[in-house]
Structure 1
Amino acid sequence: MITFLCALVTLVLGYLIYGALVEKFFGPTDKPTPAIIHNDGVDYIPLPTWKVFMIQLLNIAGLGPIFGALGGAIWGPSVYLWIVFGTIFAGGVHDYLSGMISLREDGRSISEVVGKYMGSTMLFIMRVFSVVLLVLVGTVFMTGPADLLAKLTGIAVGFVLPCVLLYYFLATLLPIDTIIARFYPLFGACLIIMALGIMAGMFLGVGGHTMPEMQLANLHPKGDAMPIWPLMFITVACGAISGFHSTQSPIMSRCLKDERMGRPIFYGAMVAEGIIALIWAAAGITFYDGTHGLATAMAEGGAGSVVYDICVGLMGGHGSLTGYAGATLAMLGAIACPITSGDTAFRSARITLADWFGVNQRNWTKRLIFAVPLLTIGGILSQMNFDIIWRYFSWTNQTLAMIVLWTGATYLYRTKENSKAWLIPAIPATFMSAVSMTYIIQAREGLELGTNISYPGGIIFAVLCVAIFIKNVLMSEQHL
Structure 2
Amino acid sequence: MLWFLLCVGLLIGGYFIYGTFVEKVFGINKGRQTPAYAQNDGVDYVPMSKSKVYLIQLLNIAGVGPIFGPILGAMYGPSAMLWIVIGCIFAGAVHDYFSGMLSVRNGGQSVPNLAGKYLGKSAKNFMNIFALVLLLLVGVVFISAPAGLLGKLTGMSVTMFVGIIFVYYLIATIVPVDKIIGRLYPFFGALLLFMSVGLTIAIVVSDQHSLLAGFGPADFLKNLNPKDAPLWPALFITIACGAISGFHATQSPLMARCVENESNGRFVFYGAMIGEGVIALIWCAIALSFFDGVQGLSEGMNGNPANVVYAASTGLLGTVGGFMAVLGVIVLPITSGDTAFRSARLILAEYFNMPQVKISKRLLLALPLFVLGAILTQVDFGIIWRYFGVANQATAVMMLWTAAAYLMRTNKLHWICTIPAMFMTAVVFSFLLNSQTLGAGLPMTVSTIAGIVITAVVTAMVFYISKGKDAAISAEEA
TM-score by length of 2: 0.96
1:338 is aligned, of 324, 333, 336, to 333
Answer whether contact 1:210 1:289 (CA < 8 A) is retained.
no
Deviation string, structure 1 residues 110-152 (Cα, Å, up to 9, x no partner):
1111111111111110000000000000010110011111111
Q: Map of 1:281-360 to 2, 5 A cutoff?
A: 281-300=284-303, 302-315=304-317, 317=318, 324-360=319-355
Q: What is the total number of aligned residue pairs between the two structures? A: 467
Aligned partners of 1:20, 1:400: CA distance in 2, in Å?
Answer: 25
How much has 1:307 moved relative to structure 2? 0.7
Answer whether contact 1:202 1:211 (CA < 8 A) is retained.
no
Q: Say whether 1:222 aligns with 2:223.
A: no
Q: Say whether 1:115 aligns with 2:116.
A: yes
Deviation string, structure 1 residues 161-209 (Cα, Å, up to 9, x no partner):
1001111111111111111111001111111111111111221135334
How much has 1:276 moved relative to structure 2? 0.3
What corresponds to 1:429 in structure 2? Answer: 421
Aligned partners of 1:167, 1:448: CA distance in 2, in Å?
Answer: 40
| Letter matched to residue 233 of structure 2 | P
Q: Map of 1:160-239 to 2, 5 A cutoff?
A: 160-212=161-213, 213=215, 215=219, 216-223=221-228, 226-239=229-242
Answer whether contact 1:34 1:103 (CA < 8 A) is retained.
yes
Aligned partners of 1:175, 1:117: CA distance in 2, in Å?
Answer: 30
* Farther off after superposition, 388-397 or 373-382: 373-382
What corresponds to 1:76 in structure 2? Answer: 77
What corresponds to 1:9 in structure 2? Answer: 9
SS of residue matched to 2:241? helix
Q: Map of 1:118-137 to 2, 5 A cutoff?
A: 118-137=119-138
CA distance change for structure 1 residues 264 and 210 in 2, over 3 Å: closer, same or farther?
A: closer
- Which runs of 5 or more structure 2 residues have no equivalent in the other structure? 474-478
Q: Say whether 1:158 aligns with 2:150.
A: no
When the two chains are superposed, the root-mean-square deviation of aligned CA atoms in Å is: 1.2
1:471 is aligned, of 432, 440, 464, to 464
TM-score by length of 1: 0.95
What corresponds to 2:476 in structure 1? Answer: none
Answer whether contact 1:206 1:313 (CA < 8 A) is retained.
no
SS of residue matched to 1:446? coil
SS of residue matched to 1:412? helix
Aligned partners of 1:331, 1:204: CA distance in 2, in Å?
Answer: 20
Aligned partners of 1:160, 1:135: CA distance in 2, in Å?
Answer: 18
How much has 1:217 moved relative to structure 2? 1.4
| Letter matched to residue 403 of structure 1 | M
What corresponds to 1:393 in structure 2? Answer: 388
| Letter matched to residue 85 of structure 1 | I
Aligned partners of 2:470, 2:132: CA distance in 1, in Å?
Answer: 33
Aligned partners of 1:12, 1:90: CA distance in 2, in Å?
Answer: 15
Answer whether contact 1:201 1:314 (CA < 8 A) is retained.
yes
Aligned partners of 2:458, 2:207: CA distance in 1, in Å?
Answer: 48
Deviation string, structure 1 residues 285-333 (Cα, Å, up to 9, x no partner):
1111111121222235x22222111111122x0xxxxxx3322221111
> Where in structure 1 do 4 or more consecutive aligned residues deviate above 4 Å?
none
Aligned partners of 2:470, 2:376: CA distance in 1, in Å?
Answer: 46
- Which runs of 5 or more structure 1 residues have no equivalent in the other structure? 318-323
What corresponds to 1:28 in structure 2? Answer: 28
Aligned partners of 2:110, 2:198: CA distance in 1, in Å?
Answer: 36
Aligned partners of 1:350, 1:472: CA distance in 2, in Å?
Answer: 30
Aligned partners of 2:373, 2:470: CA distance in 1, in Å?
Answer: 44
How much has 1:478 moved relative to structure 2? 2.7
How much has 1:101 moved relative to structure 2? 0.2
SS of residue matched to 1:239? coil
Aligned partners of 1:46, 1:406: CA distance in 2, in Å?
Answer: 29
How much has 1:474 moved relative to structure 2? 3.7
Answer whether contact 1:42 1:176 (CA < 8 A) is retained.
yes
**Matched-pair identity in %:** 48
CA distance change for structure 1 residues 64 and 262 in 2, over 3 Å: closer, same or farther?
A: same
